[in-house]
Structure 1
Amino acid sequence: MKLQISASIMCADPLNMARDLDILEKYDVEYLHCDVMDGMFVPNLMLSTEVCNAVSRKYKTPMDIHLMVEKPERVIPWFDMKEGDMVSIHYESTPHVQRALSMIRDRGASPILAINPATPLECVREVLPDIKMLMLMTVNPGFAAQKLIPECLNKIRRARTMLDELGYSHIPVEVDGNCSLANIPKMAAMGAEVFVVGSSSVFDKKLGIENGVKAVRDVFAQCEKA
């Protein structure tokens, strides 16, 4: 699997979001990452159902909807989902993980399980048959522009090894948190394949979105040659 961009739209200019998303689609990012936060599971509020559904209707780029909410099975029916979209729930957010993953699958999207930095990898074993991707948070969720938790690099490697050894080599690892131009090579070397990119790369104001996407692609090319 080639390395892929999931561009975090919470880092777009809130007063010019359509302009920013037009650029992302023009430059063929693989996913538009939509963070949904309820102020309970994480200490922030972000991106309403209306925003996510409007983006989904306007753009052909698949959605990567990240539900950082308590009891996600309550809100899954509120979202428009189409084939090619991905929707992630957190292991820590509900006692009914498989039920929530099944609801996503029944609506035509690919279910993803996300886990926080301090959550042990062992917890994902029971639901590996139910997911299309494993998302590892490399910062504590809730806010952009945080620094990578160093131990998470080793966790990426351990996750990739675990998936391969258990017969799930087809499940890619997605990483979310400080996927900067400097950190992407380290993460890729550990086995990450999908990168949620935001303020430290694609949305770096010094670069601009066009140059940010190109810079990430250049880093990907270097990683794939290594």
Structure 2
Amino acid sequence: MFDRSIKIAPSILSADFANFGKEIEAIETEGCDWVHVDVMDGHFVPNLTFGPPLCKAIRKHINTVMDVHLMISPVDPYIEAFADAGADVLTAHLEAGPHIHRTLQAIRGAGCKAGLALNPATGIEDVEYLLDMVDLICVMTVNPGFGGQKFIHSQIDKVKKLRAMIGDRPIHIEIDGGITPETAPLMAAAGADVLVAGSAVFKGGSVDNPAPYGDNIRSIRAAAEAAL
């Protein structure tokens, strides 16, 4: 069932790589809504992270939503593998291939919700003709490739314009990059409902001491909801 309530999606890029199963169980127990998986290829973005086998391995630990963000190019040859690995949402970048409409068709054809990611310098003019193809638009509020970067404030206006363009269509607006209790309300007020947070969720905690994860999640959620 689609709803625009605030959803917190911790990025496992900030988790303990040697303990993914327990980290995921911890953040879900502590109240996260989605689990965000940042897939990077060292080509489209300057970093290398996870592939389909890792996604498949952690899928059995995820009881919420497995939100897989593909920062890879070309993207089309890998859609089936990530869908088979259990992704609920598969997000591709507008610039990741020559025919983004076909890419979005392929994602839905593989049984996943289709996400479209926009880099900080990407305009929204091209989004208008894709709105019937997407379930989620991910606005990057940092340059993709690394966690822990500084929030780019120019993206607030982009989200407001996207929110108006989407109207009453059942499309989530996701924000990825620099989300904290300080920036979350800015994006919620602009129209976002899915907030990806890495270091802001995982800081101060561990699988042996997960309570700080819950404190961090509640803090981001409360700040965002207060802006609505």
TM-score normalized by the length of structure 1:
0.90
Counterpart residue identity of residue 205, structure 1: G
Ranges in structure 2 where 5+ consecutive residues have no aligned partner:
none
Counterpart residue identity of residue 134, structure 1: I
Ranges in structure 1 where 5+ consecutive residues have no aligned partner:
none
Counterpart residue identity of residue 165, structure 2: M
Q: Describe the SS at the equivalent of 1:173.
A: strand
Question: CA 1:157–1:72 in 2, change beyond 3 Å: closer, same or farther?
Answer: same
Deviates more, 1:181-190 or 1:208-217: 208-217
Q: Describe the SS at the equivalent of 1:35.
A: strand
Distance (whole Å) between structure 2 residues aligned to residue 157 and residue 100 of structure 1:
26
Question: CA 1:60–1:51 in 2, change beyond 3 Å: closer, same or farther?
Answer: same
Partner of 1:109: 112
Counterpart residue identity of residue 127, structure 1: L
Q: CA deviation at 1:28?
A: 3.8
Question: CA 1:46–1:219 in 2, change beyond 3 Å: closer, same or farther?
Answer: closer
Q: Is this contact kept in 2: 1:202–1:209, CA < 8 A?
A: no
Q: Is this contact kept in 2: 1:81–1:108, CA < 8 A?
A: no
Distance (whole Å) between structure 2 residues aligned to residue 120 and residue 138 of structure 1:
13
Distance (whole Å) between structure 2 residues aligned to residue 172 and residue 179 of structure 1:
17
1:156-214 CA-to-partner distances (Å, cap 9, x unmatched) read: 112112222xx53x212100001112111111111110011101x21113696532333
Matches within 5 A, 1:150-189: 150-164=153-167, 168=169, 170-189=170-189
Matches within 5 A, 1:142-153: 142-153=145-156
Indicate yes or no: 2:15 matched with 1:12. yes
Distance (whole Å) between structure 2 residues aligned to residue 39 and residue 222 of structure 1:
34
TM-score normalized by the length of structure 2:
0.90
Q: Describe the SS at the equivalent of 1:94.
A: coil
1:93-146 CA-to-partner distances (Å, cap 9, x unmatched) read: 111212111121122210010010000011111111000111100000000000
1:81-103 CA-to-partner distances (Å, cap 9, x unmatched) read: 58881110000111121211112
Distance (whole Å) between structure 2 residues aligned to residue 148 and residue 225 of structure 1:
20
Partner of 1:194: 194
Deviates more, 1:206-215 or 1:3-12: 206-215
Percentage identity across paired residues of the two chains: 36
1:42-93 CA-to-partner distances (Å, cap 9, x unmatched) read: 0110112211111113322221000000021111111245888111000011
Q: Describe the SS at the equivalent of 2:129.
A: helix
Say what the alpha-carbon RMSD is for the aligned residues: 2.0
Q: Is this contact kept in 2: 1:111–1:131, CA < 8 A?
A: yes
Q: Describe the SS at the equivalent of 1:202.
A: helix
Q: Describe the SS at the equivalent of 2:139.
A: strand
Counterpart residue identity of residue 180, structure 2: S
Deviates more, 1:109-118 or 1:180-189: 180-189
Q: CA deviation at 1:222?
A: 4.7
Q: Is this contact kept in 1: 2:52–2:85, CA < 8 A?
A: no
Match of 1:47 among 20, 42, 50: 50
Q: Describe the SS at the equivalent of 2:201.
A: coil
Distance (whole Å) between structure 1 residues aligned to residue 224 and residue 68 of structure 2:
26
1:18-63 CA-to-partner distances (Å, cap 9, x unmatched) read: 2211201223422111111111100110112211111113322221
Distance (whole Å) between structure 2 residues aligned to residue 209 and residue 185 of structure 1:
24
Q: Describe the SS at the equivalent of 1:196.
A: strand
Counterpart residue identity of residue 217, structure 1: R
Match of 1:141 among 138, 141, 144: 144
Distance (whole Å) between structure 1 residues aligned to residue 31 and residue 85 of structure 2:
18
